[in-house]
Amino acid sequence: MIHPKQKKAQTVSLDMLLGFFVFLIFIILTFKIWNVYTIRFQNNIDTQDKWNIALQISDLMVKQRGYPPSWELDPINTEVIGFAWNENNLSELKIQTFVGYSMVTEGYPTQQELDNYHTVKKLMNIERYNFWFRIIDFDKTVVDNLQSGIPYHEINSVTIRRLVLVDGKKSILEFSIY
């Protein structure tokens, strides 16, 4: 026969063990939930950072001439990229120079294309991101093959669209970061 004090000791041990497992499950769930919200918060910060950078770069492209003002004649010595004759009225020659210098052939790019692309990224201060640039008509067709960068296939991209005039023709400037 089991003595009543031994039964009580077994119950106390079982209660303590059950309490410990409930506490352990609570701690594990708390850490999992904390991790999910931390990842979401970090993704939101990264997306907001991309929006800010894309907006600043597109502003420079459509509102500034660039530096030096005739940088399209010597793209290697460019300090600031800008396409504007005046705000939202862009020079097709500057855009063509930018496209020619930053274009990357899809599939098998040459080393020179990659070097130029990385030089442009460094110039725009976006080394940790990739970019895609193009000028399109209102029916979404690319104007005179004016597109450059690496085409994106990612969900986490950010695209800024600006209404512009390219040598007097209404178009849309698209700049994407991913």
Contacts of 148 by beta carbon, 8 Å cutoff, 6+ apart: 98, 99, 100, 101, 102, 103, 104, 132, 133, 134
Q: What are the start-end ranges of the E strands in 61-103? A: 66-67, 80-81, 84-86, 89-90
pLDDT for residue 51: 94
Low-confidence ranges of the chain (pLDDT < 70): 1-12
HSE (side-chain half, CA atoms, 13 Å) at 143? 21
pLDDT for residue 110: 87
Nearest to 93 by CA among 126, 69, 117: 69
Q: What are the start-end ranges of the E strands in the chain? A: 66-67, 80-81, 84-86, 89-90, 131-136, 142-149, 158-166, 169-177
pLDDT for residue 57: 94
Residue 50 CA to residue 43 CA, distance in Å, equals 11
pLDDT for residue 21: 92
If phi > 0 it is left, if psi is from -120 to 50 it is alpha, else beta; for residue 130 that is beta
The structure tokens listed for 107 are 């599939």
pLDDT in tens, 23-60: 999 999 999 999 998 888 888 888 899 999 999 999 99
pLDDT for residue 3: 57
pLDDT for residue 4: 55
Identify whether the C-beta of residue 79 lies closer than 8 Å to the C-beta of residue 70: no
Residue 52 CA to residue 57 CA, distance in Å, equals 9
